[in-house]
Chain A
Amino acid sequence: MELHPHEHVAIGCFRGLVLMSIGIVLVGSAALFFAWRYTTPHDPLPGYNGTPQRGRILIARYGCASCHLIPGAATQGLVGPPLSHFGSRSYIAGVFPNQPIDLQQWLQHPQSMKPGTGMPDLGMSDRDARDVAAYLATLK
Protein backbone atom coordinates (compact mmCIF):
# COMPACT_ATOMS: atom_id res chain seq x y z
CA MET A 1 0.00 0.00 0.00
CA GLU A 2 1.23 3.47 -0.94
CA LEU A 3 1.43 5.94 1.93
CA HIS A 4 1.98 9.67 1.89
CA PRO A 5 5.06 10.83 3.78
CA HIS A 6 3.05 12.65 6.47
CA GLU A 7 1.00 9.52 7.18
CA HIS A 8 4.24 7.67 7.94
CA VAL A 9 5.10 10.42 10.42
CA ALA A 10 1.68 10.29 12.06
CA ILE A 11 1.71 6.50 12.43
CA GLY A 12 5.30 6.59 13.67
CA CYS A 13 4.47 9.23 16.26
CA PHE A 14 1.48 7.22 17.45
CA ARG A 15 3.53 4.03 17.69
CA GLY A 16 6.12 5.84 19.83
CA LEU A 17 3.41 7.01 22.18
CA VAL A 18 1.91 3.52 22.48
CA LEU A 19 5.31 1.91 23.08
CA MET A 20 6.12 4.51 25.72
CA SER A 21 2.79 3.92 27.51
CA ILE A 22 3.29 0.15 27.44
CA GLY A 23 6.80 0.66 28.80
CA ILE A 24 5.60 2.86 31.64
CA VAL A 25 2.85 0.39 32.55
CA LEU A 26 5.26 -2.59 32.47
CA VAL A 27 7.99 -0.90 34.53
CA GLY A 28 5.40 0.43 37.00
CA SER A 29 3.76 -2.98 37.44
CA ALA A 30 7.13 -4.65 37.92
CA ALA A 31 8.09 -2.08 40.57
CA LEU A 32 4.76 -2.58 42.37
CA PHE A 33 5.09 -6.36 42.20
CA PHE A 34 8.60 -6.40 43.65
CA ALA A 35 7.62 -3.91 46.35
CA TRP A 36 4.72 -6.21 47.30
CA ARG A 37 6.75 -9.43 47.01
CA TYR A 38 9.64 -8.35 49.18
CA THR A 39 8.01 -6.11 51.77
CA THR A 40 5.21 -8.46 52.84
CA PRO A 41 5.68 -12.00 54.10
CA HIS A 42 4.86 -14.38 51.30
CA ASP A 43 4.96 -17.98 52.43
CA PRO A 44 3.06 -19.20 55.49
CA LEU A 45 5.05 -20.67 58.34
CA PRO A 46 4.99 -24.45 58.83
CA GLY A 47 1.69 -25.56 60.36
CA TYR A 48 -0.21 -22.56 59.02
CA ASN A 49 -2.18 -23.14 55.84
CA GLY A 50 -3.49 -19.63 55.21
CA THR A 51 -2.25 -16.81 53.00
CA PRO A 52 -0.36 -14.17 55.03
CA GLN A 53 -0.93 -11.31 52.54
CA ARG A 54 -4.65 -11.86 52.57
CA GLY A 55 -4.57 -12.02 56.35
CA ARG A 56 -2.88 -8.67 56.45
CA ILE A 57 -5.63 -7.12 54.32
CA LEU A 58 -8.30 -8.82 56.44
CA ILE A 59 -6.83 -7.31 59.60
CA ALA A 60 -7.65 -3.88 58.20
CA ARG A 61 -11.14 -5.03 57.14
CA TYR A 62 -12.06 -6.55 60.52
CA GLY A 63 -10.70 -3.52 62.35
CA CYS A 64 -8.29 -5.49 64.58
CA ALA A 65 -6.06 -2.43 64.85
CA SER A 66 -8.87 -0.46 66.54
CA CYS A 67 -7.96 -2.38 69.69
CA HIS A 68 -4.53 -3.87 69.01
CA LEU A 69 -1.24 -2.31 68.10
CA ILE A 70 -0.27 -4.15 64.92
CA PRO A 71 2.92 -3.36 62.98
CA GLY A 72 2.04 -1.69 59.69
CA ALA A 73 -1.63 -1.00 60.49
CA ALA A 74 -3.21 2.42 59.96
CA THR A 75 -4.62 2.79 63.46
CA GLN A 76 -2.93 1.90 66.75
CA GLY A 77 -5.35 0.69 69.35
CA LEU A 78 -4.43 0.37 73.00
CA VAL A 79 -7.56 -1.50 74.12
CA GLY A 80 -6.21 -5.04 73.80
CA PRO A 81 -2.63 -6.33 73.98
CA PRO A 82 -0.16 -5.25 71.27
CA LEU A 83 0.35 -7.90 68.58
CA SER A 84 3.92 -6.94 67.76
CA HIS A 85 6.14 -10.06 67.83
CA PHE A 86 2.97 -12.11 68.10
CA GLY A 87 4.61 -15.00 66.27
CA SER A 88 7.19 -15.25 69.06
CA ARG A 89 4.70 -15.22 71.92
CA SER A 90 3.96 -18.35 73.91
CA TYR A 91 0.31 -17.80 74.84
CA ILE A 92 -2.85 -16.43 73.30
CA ALA A 93 -4.91 -14.30 75.71
CA GLY A 94 -2.68 -15.63 78.49
CA VAL A 95 -4.55 -18.94 78.38
CA PHE A 96 -4.04 -20.91 75.16
CA PRO A 97 -0.78 -22.11 73.62
CA ASN A 98 0.09 -20.07 70.53
CA GLN A 99 -0.49 -22.81 67.95
CA PRO A 100 -2.23 -22.71 64.57
CA ILE A 101 -5.49 -24.44 65.57
CA ASP A 102 -5.81 -22.57 68.88
CA LEU A 103 -5.12 -19.26 67.16
CA GLN A 104 -7.71 -19.87 64.45
CA GLN A 105 -10.27 -20.94 67.06
CA TRP A 106 -9.50 -17.87 69.17
CA LEU A 107 -9.90 -15.51 66.21
CA GLN A 108 -13.31 -17.00 65.44
CA HIS A 109 -14.80 -17.61 68.88
CA PRO A 110 -13.05 -15.58 71.62
CA GLN A 111 -16.31 -15.21 73.57
CA SER A 112 -16.90 -18.96 73.96
CA MET A 113 -13.21 -19.80 74.49
CA LYS A 114 -12.76 -17.25 77.28
CA PRO A 115 -16.13 -15.94 78.49
CA GLY A 116 -15.90 -12.36 79.69
CA THR A 117 -13.04 -11.35 77.44
CA GLY A 118 -13.17 -7.91 75.89
CA MET A 119 -12.52 -9.30 72.42
CA PRO A 120 -15.79 -9.57 70.48
CA ASP A 121 -16.83 -12.39 68.14
CA LEU A 122 -16.39 -10.85 64.71
CA GLY A 123 -18.10 -13.56 62.67
CA MET A 124 -14.80 -14.51 61.04
CA SER A 125 -15.06 -17.32 58.48
CA ASP A 126 -12.77 -20.41 58.58
CA ARG A 127 -10.77 -19.21 55.62
CA ASP A 128 -10.38 -15.67 57.00
CA ALA A 129 -9.25 -17.05 60.37
CA ARG A 130 -6.63 -19.24 58.64
CA ASP A 131 -5.29 -16.25 56.71
CA VAL A 132 -5.20 -13.89 59.68
CA ALA A 133 -3.50 -16.57 61.81
CA ALA A 134 -0.93 -17.15 59.05
CA TYR A 135 -0.15 -13.42 59.00
CA LEU A 136 0.05 -13.02 62.79
CA ALA A 137 2.46 -15.98 62.95
CA THR A 138 4.89 -14.12 60.66
CA LEU A 139 5.20 -11.27 63.19
CA LYS A 140 8.32 -12.76 64.78
Chain B
Amino acid sequence: MTFIAFAIAVIAWSLAVLRWAISLRRGRGRGAMVMLSCVVVVIAGASIALDVHAMWTARSAPSSSLDIRVVRHGDWWQLDYARDRVRVTTANELHVPAGERFTLNGRVVVAGLLWPDKPATPIVVQSREEFDRWLANEARPANVPLAAAWRFREDGCAYCHVIRGVVNETWRVAPDLTHFATRATIAASGLPNRRGQLTGWVVHSRGVKRESAMPDNAMRPEELHAVVALLESLH
Protein backbone atom coordinates (compact mmCIF):
# COMPACT_ATOMS: atom_id res chain seq x y z
CA MET B 1 0.00 0.00 0.00
CA THR B 2 2.77 2.40 0.98
CA PHE B 3 4.58 1.44 -2.20
CA ILE B 4 1.57 2.20 -4.42
CA ALA B 5 0.99 5.58 -2.74
CA PHE B 6 4.68 6.41 -3.12
CA ALA B 7 4.73 5.31 -6.77
CA ILE B 8 1.68 7.45 -7.59
CA ALA B 9 3.25 10.43 -5.79
CA VAL B 10 6.52 10.03 -7.75
CA ILE B 11 4.75 9.77 -11.10
CA ALA B 12 2.47 12.72 -10.30
CA TRP B 13 5.45 14.81 -9.19
CA SER B 14 7.52 14.04 -12.29
CA LEU B 15 4.56 14.72 -14.59
CA ALA B 16 4.01 18.04 -12.77
CA VAL B 17 7.64 18.96 -13.33
CA LEU B 18 7.34 17.99 -17.01
CA ARG B 19 4.16 20.06 -17.40
CA TRP B 20 5.83 23.02 -15.69
CA ALA B 21 8.84 22.70 -18.00
CA ILE B 22 6.61 22.64 -21.10
CA SER B 23 4.70 25.71 -19.85
CA LEU B 24 7.97 27.68 -19.58
CA ARG B 25 8.48 30.67 -21.84
CA ARG B 26 10.27 29.72 -25.03
CA GLY B 27 13.89 30.69 -24.69
CA ARG B 28 17.16 29.69 -23.10
CA GLY B 29 16.90 26.69 -20.82
CA ARG B 30 13.42 25.50 -21.72
CA GLY B 31 14.59 22.69 -24.01
CA ALA B 32 17.05 21.47 -21.40
CA MET B 33 14.37 21.53 -18.69
CA VAL B 34 11.92 19.59 -20.89
CA MET B 35 14.57 17.03 -21.72
CA LEU B 36 15.65 16.67 -18.09
CA SER B 37 12.11 16.20 -16.82
CA CYS B 38 11.44 13.64 -19.58
CA VAL B 39 14.49 11.73 -18.36
CA VAL B 40 13.16 11.91 -14.78
CA VAL B 41 9.74 10.61 -15.90
CA VAL B 42 11.32 7.74 -17.85
CA ILE B 43 13.64 6.72 -14.99
CA ALA B 44 10.84 6.88 -12.39
CA GLY B 45 8.47 4.95 -14.68
CA ALA B 46 11.06 2.27 -15.47
CA SER B 47 12.07 1.71 -11.86
CA ILE B 48 8.45 1.53 -10.73
CA ALA B 49 7.66 -0.91 -13.55
CA LEU B 50 10.62 -3.09 -12.50
CA ASP B 51 9.46 -3.03 -8.87
CA VAL B 52 5.92 -3.97 -9.86
CA HIS B 53 7.28 -6.77 -12.04
CA ALA B 54 9.43 -8.06 -9.14
CA MET B 55 6.48 -7.92 -6.74
CA TRP B 56 4.33 -9.75 -9.27
CA THR B 57 6.98 -12.45 -9.76
CA ALA B 58 7.29 -12.87 -6.00
CA ARG B 59 3.54 -13.11 -5.56
CA SER B 60 3.05 -15.62 -8.36
CA ALA B 61 6.09 -17.75 -7.41
CA PRO B 62 5.16 -21.31 -6.52
CA SER B 63 5.85 -22.11 -2.89
CA SER B 64 7.91 -25.13 -1.88
CA SER B 65 8.47 -26.89 1.41
CA LEU B 66 12.16 -25.96 1.21
CA ASP B 67 13.45 -24.56 4.48
CA ILE B 68 17.00 -23.21 4.73
CA ARG B 69 18.72 -22.19 7.91
CA VAL B 70 21.91 -20.17 7.88
CA VAL B 71 23.91 -20.43 11.10
CA ARG B 72 26.98 -18.31 11.50
CA HIS B 73 29.95 -19.89 13.30
CA GLY B 74 32.68 -17.30 13.67
CA ASP B 75 34.33 -17.26 10.27
CA TRP B 76 32.13 -19.77 8.43
CA TRP B 77 28.46 -20.54 7.77
CA GLN B 78 26.56 -23.72 8.43
CA LEU B 79 23.70 -24.22 5.95
CA ASP B 80 20.87 -26.58 6.87
CA TYR B 81 18.47 -27.61 4.11
CA ALA B 82 15.17 -29.36 4.72
CA ARG B 83 12.72 -30.34 2.01
CA ASP B 84 10.13 -33.04 2.39
CA ARG B 85 12.14 -35.90 3.93
CA VAL B 86 15.54 -34.63 2.82
CA ARG B 87 17.81 -33.14 5.51
CA VAL B 88 21.20 -31.87 4.37
CA THR B 89 23.90 -29.83 6.07
CA THR B 90 26.49 -28.07 3.95
CA ALA B 91 28.61 -24.99 4.43
CA ASN B 92 29.70 -21.68 3.02
CA GLU B 93 27.97 -21.69 -0.38
CA LEU B 94 24.27 -20.95 -0.26
CA HIS B 95 22.39 -22.60 -3.15
CA VAL B 96 18.83 -21.41 -3.72
CA PRO B 97 16.22 -22.16 -6.39
CA ALA B 98 15.16 -19.26 -8.60
CA GLY B 99 11.54 -18.18 -8.81
CA GLU B 100 10.38 -20.36 -5.94
CA ARG B 101 9.15 -19.40 -2.50
CA PHE B 102 11.01 -20.94 0.41
CA THR B 103 11.88 -20.05 3.97
CA LEU B 104 15.27 -18.67 4.94
CA ASN B 105 15.85 -18.48 8.69
CA GLY B 106 12.10 -18.60 9.17
CA ARG B 107 11.17 -15.86 6.69
CA VAL B 108 9.49 -16.44 3.35
CA VAL B 109 11.67 -15.27 0.46
CA VAL B 110 12.01 -15.55 -3.30
CA ALA B 111 15.60 -15.70 -4.52
CA GLY B 112 17.01 -12.56 -6.00
CA LEU B 113 14.10 -10.37 -4.97
CA LEU B 114 13.95 -10.07 -1.21
CA TRP B 115 16.81 -10.90 1.10
CA PRO B 116 15.78 -10.30 4.71
CA ASP B 117 19.25 -10.50 6.25
CA LYS B 118 21.61 -11.25 3.42
CA PRO B 119 24.27 -13.64 4.63
CA ALA B 120 27.77 -12.60 3.60
CA THR B 121 28.46 -15.96 1.97
CA PRO B 122 28.61 -16.76 -1.74
CA ILE B 123 25.07 -17.27 -3.08
CA VAL B 124 24.33 -19.50 -6.07
CA VAL B 125 20.88 -18.98 -7.59
CA GLN B 126 19.96 -21.98 -9.72
CA SER B 127 17.05 -23.01 -11.88
CA ARG B 128 14.64 -25.39 -10.21
CA GLU B 129 16.03 -28.43 -12.06
CA GLU B 130 19.64 -27.52 -11.29
CA PHE B 131 18.80 -26.95 -7.65
CA ASP B 132 16.97 -30.30 -7.40
CA ARG B 133 19.97 -32.07 -8.91
CA TRP B 134 22.31 -30.23 -6.56
CA LEU B 135 20.23 -31.07 -3.48
CA ALA B 136 19.92 -34.74 -4.48
CA ASN B 137 23.71 -34.93 -4.85
CA GLU B 138 24.28 -33.18 -1.52
CA ALA B 139 21.98 -35.68 0.19
CA ARG B 140 24.18 -38.59 -0.93
CA PRO B 141 27.08 -39.61 1.31
CA ALA B 142 30.56 -39.16 -0.13
CA ASN B 143 32.20 -42.02 -1.98
CA VAL B 144 35.75 -42.17 -0.63
CA PRO B 145 38.28 -45.03 -0.93
CA LEU B 146 39.15 -46.63 2.40
CA ALA B 147 42.80 -45.53 2.36
CA ALA B 148 41.81 -41.90 1.81
CA ALA B 149 39.20 -42.11 4.56
CA TRP B 150 41.83 -43.51 6.93
CA ARG B 151 44.19 -40.71 5.95
CA PHE B 152 41.53 -38.07 6.67
CA ARG B 153 41.06 -39.45 10.19
CA GLU B 154 44.76 -40.05 10.79
CA ASP B 155 45.71 -36.47 9.92
CA GLY B 156 43.21 -35.20 12.47
CA CYS B 157 40.86 -33.48 9.98
CA ALA B 158 38.02 -35.61 11.36
CA TYR B 159 38.27 -33.99 14.79
CA CYS B 160 36.46 -30.98 13.34
CA HIS B 161 35.24 -31.77 9.82
CA VAL B 162 32.44 -34.12 8.84
CA ILE B 163 32.36 -36.04 5.56
CA ARG B 164 29.14 -38.04 5.51
CA GLY B 165 30.08 -41.61 4.63
CA VAL B 166 33.55 -41.18 6.14
CA VAL B 167 33.17 -39.27 9.36
CA ASN B 168 29.56 -39.70 10.44
CA GLU B 169 29.66 -37.46 13.46
CA THR B 170 27.12 -34.76 14.18
CA TRP B 171 29.47 -32.06 15.36
CA ARG B 172 29.45 -28.67 13.72
CA VAL B 173 32.87 -27.41 14.74
CA ALA B 174 33.99 -26.75 11.16
CA PRO B 175 32.39 -26.80 7.70
CA ASP B 176 30.89 -30.07 6.44
CA LEU B 177 33.08 -31.30 3.58
CA THR B 178 30.89 -34.07 2.13
CA HIS B 179 30.67 -32.52 -1.35
CA PHE B 180 33.48 -30.02 -1.00
CA ALA B 181 34.69 -30.32 -4.60
CA THR B 182 31.36 -29.04 -5.95
CA ARG B 183 31.87 -25.68 -4.25
CA ALA B 184 33.36 -22.92 -6.34
CA THR B 185 35.04 -21.20 -3.41
CA ILE B 186 36.86 -22.12 -0.21
CA ALA B 187 37.24 -20.59 3.22
CA ALA B 188 33.87 -18.74 3.14
CA SER B 189 35.94 -16.01 1.58
CA GLY B 190 35.37 -16.05 -2.17
CA LEU B 191 38.77 -17.61 -2.75
CA PRO B 192 38.51 -19.97 -5.76
CA ASN B 193 38.50 -23.69 -5.03
CA ARG B 194 41.67 -24.61 -6.95
CA ARG B 195 44.64 -26.73 -6.00
CA GLY B 196 47.08 -23.90 -5.30
CA GLN B 197 44.71 -22.00 -3.04
CA LEU B 198 43.53 -25.18 -1.34
CA THR B 199 47.01 -26.54 -0.59
CA GLY B 200 48.12 -23.37 1.14
CA TRP B 201 44.83 -23.18 3.00
CA VAL B 202 45.10 -26.73 4.37
CA VAL B 203 48.61 -26.16 5.74
CA HIS B 204 48.39 -22.61 7.06
CA SER B 205 44.90 -21.16 6.78
CA ARG B 206 45.70 -17.87 8.46
CA GLY B 207 48.09 -17.03 5.64
CA VAL B 208 45.00 -16.89 3.42
CA LYS B 209 42.42 -15.57 5.88
CA ARG B 210 43.65 -13.97 9.05
CA GLU B 211 40.61 -14.74 11.22
CA SER B 212 40.48 -18.43 10.29
CA ALA B 213 40.03 -20.76 13.27
CA MET B 214 41.61 -23.78 11.54
CA PRO B 215 44.93 -24.75 13.15
CA ASP B 216 48.06 -25.22 11.06
CA ASN B 217 48.53 -28.70 9.61
CA ALA B 218 52.22 -29.09 8.84
CA MET B 219 51.89 -32.68 7.63
CA ARG B 220 54.39 -34.51 5.48
CA PRO B 221 54.19 -33.31 1.87
CA GLU B 222 52.95 -36.64 0.48
CA GLU B 223 50.20 -36.68 3.12
CA LEU B 224 49.33 -33.11 2.19
CA HIS B 225 48.98 -34.00 -1.49
CA ALA B 226 46.86 -37.03 -0.55
CA VAL B 227 44.52 -34.89 1.56
CA VAL B 228 44.20 -32.32 -1.23
CA ALA B 229 43.46 -35.14 -3.70
CA LEU B 230 40.78 -36.46 -1.33
CA LEU B 231 39.17 -33.03 -1.08
CA GLU B 232 39.28 -32.67 -4.87
CA SER B 233 37.47 -36.01 -5.22
CA LEU B 234 34.46 -35.00 -3.08
CA HIS B 235 32.01 -34.32 -5.91
Q: Which residues of A contact B (CB under 8 A)?
A: 4-11, 13-14, 61-67, 75-79, 111, 116-118, 120, 122-123
B190 vs chain A, min Cβ distance (A): 11
Q: Are A66 and B199 in contact (CB under 8 A)?
A: yes
**How big is the B interface, by class?**
20 to 34
Given contacts A6-B30, A67-B200, 5 further A-B contacts (CB under 8 A): A5-B28, A8-B31, A9-B28, A67-B196, A120-B195
Q: Are A76 and B224 in contact (CB under 8 A)?
A: no
Q: Are B35 and A14 in contact (CB under 8 A)?
A: yes
Contacts of A123 in B (CB 8 A): 195
Q: Are B200 and A79 in contact (CB under 8 A)?
A: yes
User: In chain B between 19 and 61, which residues have their CB closer than 8 angstroms to a CB of chain A?
Assistant: 26-32, 34-35
A25–B207 Cα distance when bound, in Å, is 38
A23–B34 Cα distance when bound, in Å, is 25
Q: Which residues of B contact A (CB under 8 A)?
A: 26-32, 34-35, 191-192, 194-201, 203-204, 207-209, 221-222, 224-225, 228
Q: Are A75 and B222 in contact (CB under 8 A)?
A: no
Q: Are A116 and B222 in contact (CB under 8 A)?
A: yes
Contacts of A4 in B (CB 8 A): 26
Q: Are B207 and A9 in contact (CB under 8 A)?
A: no
A101 vs chain B, min Cβ distance (A): 22
Q: Are A9 and B203 in contact (CB under 8 A)?
A: no
A11 vs chain B, min Cβ distance (A): 8
Q: Are B194 and A63 in contact (CB under 8 A)?
A: yes
